[in-house]
Chains A and B, each alone.
Chain A
Amino acid sequence: MANKISAIKIKIKDGVATVRMAFSHPMMTYNQAKAKTGNRNDANFITHITAKVGDAVVLDASTSQFFSKNPIFLFNFTCETFKIGKVLSGREIDQGIERKESDKGDFLTVIATDLQGNSYEKSQELTY
């Protein structure tokens, strides 16, 4: 299974965005690596997570081996200064209305780096 950021979900209420992120990653500690392969340096875990909207950094975390396998993270940020998009309703899609350019919101980009030097990136639009 390839390591990746498997999902980002954003809920916006009262100007605060609640972000849930799920990662597909073994998060192997030094002890686990030693038990499994005999080499302590085979450990691999996410070491840094950054979340940005445009150029504004909304989350900056240095992390260690002690997060669970396939970890989840939840964090909150105020999003009053960002543009939040509108999604078409089912009826509007049925009527063949296309989404206007002005209805598109800013994107939240999450970048994670792991110990072996791989980096993972995923974006998600801010919408109501």
Chain B
Amino acid sequence: MKIVAPFSPLVNGSRISWSEIPSFAITELVQTTSDLLDKGARLCSWFVLTEGQDHSIVCVLAMDTESLLAIARSEPVQGSYPSLTPRHPQAHLFEREVWEQSGLVPQNHPWLKPVRYILDQAPANAPFFQVDGPEVHEVAVGPVHAGVIEPGHFRFQCRGEEVLHLEISLGYQHRGIEKHLKGGPHPLTVFQMETIAGDTSIAHATAYATNMEALSGVEAPLRAQWLRALALELERLANHTGDMGALALDVAFLPTSAACGKIRGDFLNLTALLCGNRFGRGLIFPGGCRHDLEPSRLGTLLKKLREHIADAQEAIAWFWDAASVRIRFRDVGVVHTSQARDIGLVGPSARACGLVRDVRFDHPAGWHRFSQAPVAVWPSGDILARAKVRTLEIERSGDYLLEQIKNEVPGPISTTLSSPMPHSLAVTLVEGWRGEVCHVAITDHNGLLRAYKITDPSFHNWTGLALALRGTAVYDFPICNKSFNLSYCGFDL
């Protein structure tokens, strides 16, 4: 436990009393956070808690090798504080977010501008970074993009075709989720959790449900945890397969794109077999799961799963067999391992830079305490690596699912929760298909939500896309973007 001192240690999916969380003067909090980050911790969340005129900062770190989370908070802060970002760039968006929400200025932050607020109708109106010089020009794309895709604005600084810098400006999708959670949970809360990022419904709903269970001191029945783990892998399989198809489409390799588009739907239909909804809506709630897998349904699931996994692997093998595909992805959109570590990438994007980071393995909670899928890593940091990691994860997820289905646990699928404990904080990390989903819940003296902080993996990873574009050409943007496939609404909240 010394390893996280002076922060308080806690494990993923657990509760800590508010008074047990060590509180420091802000300069001290910044300094100790910085020291722990130097020792290899990762910044999971850094957010402001505002009550009346008082602002205080809460910091959640992950010590991956120790499977521990560490938490601390600041005493009320006013005006400004020394920025973490110059030493630890992974804090840059968190500090911008805190500034946007509270006005607290991180001194010496290199690029302080809003994250998602709406200035004069469009969030992109804040000034962009500009490059000057002969032959330098700007390309502006969005918010409405060419395909059926969510909105965001991309501003490229180019010299000829070469991209010198890409700035990504989001906020168009902001629906006010966190703000309206105060005083909750409300009847709509679980539905909002499922639609934070609609393709990650299972991961976000699991994180929320686990937090509420931790706050009330009751664990969901084991069978519910098993069902959640199955649904999480089905979500990963569907999205990874879709991504492989989308990558193939963008390099005009139609056999794989046609097949994967269909197989993605097949995986979504397996989630619908489980709960009626292709995205897993309505399956998970605080206390357990709403639908069970009775023997005949489990049999159908197993049979279809085997077929679809084999289909997906065949279609993806065509992709890797084609030299024209491999050559198009090699050495394009590179994020170096050191950059990935500095900006705090998570999920497949981090694993494609050789970082061994996977919440299922590093911070097991729920069913993953008893069984883990191996972590799939590829070192090269380019689009090829991101496609490779997805391919490996489709294999590993498939194997994992088949194995877990055999290890079915009997028992009830839900339990009744007592009311959440007052003056507490709970943290849950879940490895969604894009990476680490982090939810932090804080309760007030009545056990109602005093604050609820959501960090979608995309919040960490959009900067990775911006870095990947440097030195590539504008026409490489679509394949780079697909190789990350990040969430706009998960970022905008």
Do A and B associate with each other? no
* Chain A positions near chain B (C-beta within 8 angstroms): none
